[in-house]
Copies of this chain bind each other. A is one copy, B any other.
Amino acid sequence: MSDAYYLRLTDRLRELLSDPHACEEGRLPAERTLAERFRTTRVTLRQALAQLEGEGRIHRSNRRGWFVSPARLDYDPTRDAGFNDYVRAQGRRPRTEVLLTDTRPYPTAAEALGLPADQPFCHIRRRRFVDDRAVLAESLWVVPERAPGLLEGDYASHSLWGQLRSRWGLSLTHRSLRLYSEALPEREAAELGVAAGTAGLSVRRTIFDERRRPVEYDEEHWLHDALCITVELDGKA
C-alpha cells in the first residue's frame, strides 16, 4: 500500500521541506500551487499534508497557510524550572500571556486534590509562546490557603513553583502526572489559533506538599508537535 500517490507525495514534500530555497520564511507554497505542481487535486495533496502534520513536520496557522514546524521543545513536567528559563536555555524565545485570573471553585481540581467540590481556588489561565508560536494553553488552580496573596504577585514572569517555594516556603513533595494525546478542545484550539480537533497533548499535574496538604492542580494543552516530554528519575521506583 505504500504505492498510494499521497504517500509518494509526502516523500517529495519532505525533500521540499529540507530545501531552504523552496520555503521562504518556513512557509510552504499554496495548496493549489502544490497540487498543480504535483499534478493532483487539492484533496489528495491535503491528505499528504495531513500526514506530514501528524509526523510533526509541518503545521497550519488559521487560514494563513502551512509552515515548517520547528524542533520540539524539551520539557520536564516534574521540575519547576520556569518556562522562560528552559525555553531560553534551548535557544528559543519564550513569551507568556495571562488570559484571566479569578478565584472560584473547580470540581475537577477539587476531586484531584481530595477537597470538597465547592472549594475555591486561585485560578490563572495563560497562553505561552515559543518564538511567537502559541504552543500551550493552561490553567492553574492553587489552594488559596497555601499561597495567600498569590494573584497580587508577579505570577507571569517568574516560575510559579519557584515562588511557591521561596515566598510561601512550600515543598512540592508529592507530584502526580497524567498525560495523553488528545484532540484539542474548542476553547484551547481557539486560544492557540488552530482548528478545533488539532492533535494535542494533555498534561495534568496534582501537587501535595511534604505534609500531604493539597497545593495545586493544573491542566496543560500543548500542540502535539511542539514538545518532547522528558523525565529524569533517580532512586528506586
Contact B231 A196 (CB under 8 A): no
CA distance A227 to B55 in the complex (A): 19
Contact A227 B2 (CB under 8 A): no
In the complex, A171 has a CB within 8 A of chain B = yes
Q: Looking at the complex, which one of B1, B79, B181, B236 makes contact with A181 (CB distance below 8 Å)?
A: B181
B contact residues around A228 at 8 Å (CB): 178-180
Contact A1 B196 (CB under 8 A): yes
B contact residues around A197 at 8 Å (CB): 51, 54-55
In the complex, A30 has a CB within 8 A of chain B = no
CA distance A195 to B159 in the complex (A): 42
Known: A79-B237, A172-B237, A236-B171. A230 touches B177 (CB 8 A): yes
B contact residues around A173 at 8 Å (CB): 234-236
CA distance A199 to B227 in the complex (A): 15
Contact B183 A55 (CB under 8 A): yes
In the complex, A97 has a CB within 8 A of chain B = no
Contact A233 B177 (CB under 8 A): yes
CB distance from A104 to the nearest CB of B (A): 26
CB distance from A86 to the nearest CB of B (A): 13
Copies in the complex: 2
B contact residues around A80 at 8 Å (CB): 237
8 Å CB interface, A219-237 against B: 224-225, 227-237
Contact A180 B54 (CB under 8 A): no
Q: Looking at the complex, which one of B55, B78, B201 makes contact with A237 (CB distance below 8 Å)?
A: B78
**3 cross-chain pairs, A with B, having the tightest CB-CB distances, nearest first:** A54-B183, A177-B231, A181-B224
Q: Can you list 23 pairs linking A and B with CB atoms under 8 Å apart? A: A1-B196, A2-B186, A2-B196, A51-B197, A54-B197, A55-B182, A55-B197, A56-B183, A172-B237, A173-B234, A174-B232, A175-B231, A175-B232, A175-B237, A176-B230, A178-B229, A179-B228, A181-B181, A181-B224, A181-B225, A231-B231, A233-B233, A235-B235
Q: Which residues of A contact B (CB under 8 A)?
A: 1-2, 7, 43, 51, 54-56, 72, 78-80, 171-183, 186, 195-197, 199, 201, 224-225, 227-237
